[in-house]
Structure 1
């Protein structure tokens, strides 16, 4: 067990007082920035070029009946959504002489509008699990994982806001999203009350599919199969959020989003192996880099315990430096 090993890290910093007992005040400065630069968002990783390329398509083996049910539901949902959206992504026929448009018409490839519709719908749903988990843990006063789950939900919202700069959804599309969100939120809410671990496993498998989808999109774009996006500049909101180069392209955004989904895959599979009532959130103060998250499906419980202890030791080292 590794209960509350890092409880001291949550202590508020001591405030200094002046000689007359008043709290020391810093020099007054304006609180109105000349340009918003992302300090309005929760913690999220900013990736190096090497980390962006370190992502692998991985799968968590189903060991328990809960795992099998969670994975089966994800595959069922994926199959249903693929059918409705006419998404096939079939292997290209060998030695084909088909044009790009013919490949799209036959279901081998998606055009930029089909990709965007798919991404927008997925990202509107993806923000639900983190918010559900954080809400329930807040109501139960189980603060061990709230920040991590809220960060995940907001991160998915930023994905949505980024891609919405490329296309505004129609009223019909918004109605479909609203209905899907309502059903998904309530089902997940009720399930999380019964078994948080099952929900985290479900989300872990869901994020596996997200990594696959973005990997396929990246491969198609790099292979010249989505020519409409080859020179598409990255939206300003994406450049700010992920600290991309000023001349970044949409391809850079897709790499960053895929890395985010890889983080969610890793975190949720790790949380699913914990006792979510008593165990400390191993990612409350830091996370492994993408060289770990991109090549490992998640921490086993013993690995999470070790990671918590390492975080605790690092905290004590930093605290000691501050006292010297």
Structure 2
């Protein structure tokens, strides 16, 4: 009862302002006046009416989205493939797709010579033993974990080079973009394997733990010695090439079913429509071999006493 009395008193108080604001020809009542009237009306409304008003109508939802789009002027352009069919991916665009160079030497190995190289090599080999013991021949789940790890160094390195460029008011020689391209490419590997299998709950927990440790460790390691950090990633990529080679062997032997390639992989690597999982693993292995070369190359630049910005980055070198 007291709520209705207060609402009625409030209406009597603001009614003259509402009438005077609406009396001008072609003028709309001020926004704050409308707000007060709505609040006052809602105060004295019946419970049933309040519930009806609280429910958004089906027709209001599209209009609200359209108003937001019109207000900000943001609208996704209509993109089509070369054959005229609509582009169906929002995570990458047609100009991001490419054909992988599978002719790259997948057996290339950087022989550790310096003490820093040997530490990096032994560190990676130790991690390899642990991952093999956990996953054994479950290649697709091994690949899922591998790609969540492999996508971290490029992002961390690119971020630190970006901040360095800002602090020093200097260009990076293209290395920021090169490392971020690497991170994005590794992430697309993960998105592809997510179409083949889904990680179990304990594997997701393992990813959280490994990623948390790796991000912080690599962040500190890159600050202390970029030369060592890139060498570690170079050896990690060598192990990735080995893992995908074993994956291909089991696919060829029939130990793993050679299912059709996911649609996202066909569009990302410009594969033929009848491509299979074997084709996908082959192009991903080629990507890892390219990342191996880039990181060993970056480490060699530092070993020669130069900075990355002194040597143009291999942009687009997947």
With normalisation by structure 2, the TM-score equals 0.66
Deviations 1:189-227 (A, max 9, x none): 00000111111111001111111111111122112222x
1:135 aligns with 2:181: no
Q: Whose helix fraction is larger, Structure 1's or Structure 2's?
A: 2
User: Which residue matches 2:87?
Assistant: 35
Query: Relative to structure 1, is the Cα distance of residues 129 and 44 closer, same or farther in structure 2, using a 3 angstrom cutoff?
Result: farther
Deviation at 1:278, TM superposition (A): 4.3
Deviations 1:118-162 (A, max 9, x none): 111111111000001001111111633100000000101000000
Query: Relative to structure 1, is the Cα distance of residues 157 and 122 closer, same or farther in structure 2, using a 3 angstrom cutoff?
Result: same
User: Which residue matches 2:99?
Assistant: 46
Native 8 Å contact 1:43 1:151 kept in 2: no
User: Which residue matches 1:77?
Assistant: 127
1:199 aligns with 2:233: no
2:141 equivalent among 110, 117, 120: 117
**Distance in 2 of aligned mates of 1:44 and 1:198:** 32
Question: What does 1:182-193 align with in structure 2 at a 5 Å threshold?
Answer: 182-193=212-223
1:149 equivalent among 157, 160, 179: 179
User: Which residue matches 1:316?
Assistant: none
Higher relative contact order (CA 8 A, sep 6+): 1
1:249 aligns with 2:295: no
SS at match of 2:223: helix
Deviation at 1:57, TM superposition (A): 1.5
SS at match of 1:140: helix
SS at match of 2:310: coil
Native 8 Å contact 2:96 2:268 kept in 1: no
Unaligned runs of 5+ in 1: 1-28, 88-109, 290-324
**Distance in 2 of aligned mates of 1:118 and 1:167:** 11
Question: What does 1:156-171 align with in structure 2 at a 5 Å threshold?
Answer: 156-171=186-201
TM-align CA RMSD: 2.2
User: Which residue matches 2:307?
Assistant: 276
Deviations 1:1-49 (A, max 9, x none): xxxxxxxxxxxxxxxxxxxxxxxxxxxx9822232468538857513xx
Native 8 Å contact 1:42 1:151 kept in 2: no
Query: Relative to structure 1, is the Cα distance of residues 117 and 153 closer, same or farther in structure 2, using a 3 angstrom cutoff?
Result: same
**Distance in 2 of aligned mates of 1:209 and 1:57:** 11
Native 8 Å contact 2:104 2:289 kept in 1: no
User: Which residue matches 2:264?
Assistant: 237
**Distance in 1 of aligned mates of 2:94 and 2:115:** 38
Deviation at 1:281, TM superposition (A): 2.8
1:67 aligns with 2:117: yes
**Distance in 2 of aligned mates of 1:58 and 1:30:** 43
User: Which residue matches 1:223?
Assistant: 253
**Distance in 2 of aligned mates of 1:261 and 1:36:** 26
Deviation at 1:272, TM superposition (A): 0.7
Query: Whose radius of gyration is greater, 1 or 2?
Result: 2
Query: Relative to structure 1, is the Cα distance of residues 254 and 72 closer, same or farther in structure 2, using a 3 angstrom cutoff?
Result: same
**Distance in 1 of aligned mates of 2:312 and 2:88:** 31
Native 8 Å contact 2:98 2:268 kept in 1: no
Unaligned runs of 5+ in 2: 1-74, 80-85, 166-170
